[in-house]
């Protein structure tokens, strides 16, 4: 198996991922489908819409089309998301260490998330460790928590991303089933 940043980071544990996730992360590819974007109530929803403006989803709760282009290099994983009615959100993931004790550093602009990974039933579940701004850690009690996963459900890529604040609840989330786009 020719390696890339993902296969090297997981090592022998790469085979614990569902075969469709293995294929996606060996070869790269594009996924597309409808997602549901939701926002919290009151102040949480207001903060969620402000955060969403920076990250790409439409700022109204709705179902919309989303495309994700996933590419790899020896050093990084690249996710470029495009929401209908929104903007693109491009993330670069840099691996540190190796599974299960290592983590990925996801960077989107000036903000970065340190993310560990747990494999559950062949799915990839991100575990947020901390958030950084311009490389400096930010206090956890002040910042949104991110929960995200991807797994295979009925031959589709099921994913969910949500942002919450401990004292306010849901800021916003987006989730849906995506299909591989054949090129």
Q: Per-residue pLDDT tens for 55-83?
A: 888 887 789 999 999 999 999 999 999 99
Strand partners, 70: 29, 79
Whole-model pTM: value is 0.91
Instruction: Tell me the mean pLDDT in the region 41-68.
Output: 89
φ, ψ dihedrals at 80, nearest 5°: -115, 110
Residues 125-162: tens digit of each pLDDT: 999 999 888 889 888 777 788 899 999 999 999 999 99
The CATH number given to whatever domain includes residue 24 is 2.40.128.20
Task: Provide the residue range defining the domain that includes 124.
Answer: 5-181
Query: How far apart (Å, rounded) are the C-alpha atoms in residues 91 and 43?
Result: 27
How many structural domains are present in the chain?
1
**What does the pLDDT read at residue 44?**
95
DSSP E strands in the chain: the ranges are 29-39, 62-72, 77-83, 88-96, 103-108, 111-120, 123-133, 136-137, 145-153, 156-165, 169-181
Q: What is the mean pLDDT of residues 25-36?
A: 96
């Amino acid at each position: 198996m020719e390696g890339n940043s993902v296969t090297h980071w997981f090592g022998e544990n790469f085979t614990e991922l569902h075969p469709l996730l293995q294929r996606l992360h060996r070869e790269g590819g594009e996924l597309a489908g409808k997602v549901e974007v939701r926002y919290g109530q009151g102040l949480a929803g207001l903060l969620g819409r402000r955060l969403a403006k920076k990250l790409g989803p439409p700022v109204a709760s709705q179902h919309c089309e989303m495309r994700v282009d996933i590419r790899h290099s020896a050093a990084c994983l690249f996710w470029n998301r495009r929401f209908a009615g929104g903007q693109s959100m491009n993330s670069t993931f840099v691996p540190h260490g190796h599974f299960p004790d290592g983590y990925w550093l996801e960077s989107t602009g000036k903000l970065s998330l340190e993310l560990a990974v747990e494999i559950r039933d062949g799915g990839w579940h991100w575990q947020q460790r901390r958030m950084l701004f311009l490389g400096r850690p930010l206090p956890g009690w002040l910042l949104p928590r991110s929960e995200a996963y991807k797994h295979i459900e009925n031959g589709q890529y099921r994913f969910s991303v949500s942002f919450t604040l401990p004292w306010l609840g849901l800021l916003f989330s987006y989730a849906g089933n995506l299909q591989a786009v054949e090129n």
